[in-house]
Amino acid sequence: MFEPKLNKREIDELRVLSRIIATEEYKLEQVRRNTAYVTKGQQWVKTQEGIVTVLKGSREEFISMCCTRLGIEGKVSVDLRTGKVHKAS
């Protein structure tokens, strides 16, 4: 049975995107809980929420592009360790 898999470059790029998103979400949560300590904290939180949304959209677009190359349609999940693509149920 054929298991679709991302190539090494795609896996690496997806890992980097995922790391960036995790970092930005972490910063967002830290400031969200401590807006009193950050100048214009509330404004920064709103901006950061937008940035995280854009980054997540970029990751989804990248996954979609990879799936198109592999001939896969619909919702999927990707194992970041192996690069295997699984159809979401």
pTM recorded for the entire structure:
0.88
Q: Identify residue 19 by its one-letter amino acid code.
A: R
The pLDDT of residue 89 is above 80: no
On the 0-12 / 13-18 / 19+ scale of CB atoms within 10 A, 46 is exposed
Encoding tokens for residue 9? 């470059």
The pLDDT of residue 2 is above 90: no
The pLDDT of residue 15? 97
In the chain, where the domains are located: 8-87
Residue recorded with tokens 């919702």: 75
Handedness of CA 18, 19, 22, 27 (dihedral sign): negative
Encoding tokens for residue 81? 């360790």
pLDDT tens for 32-86 read 999 888 889 999 999 999 999 999 999 999 999 999 999 998 899 999 999 999 9
Encoding tokens for residue 24? 């930005």
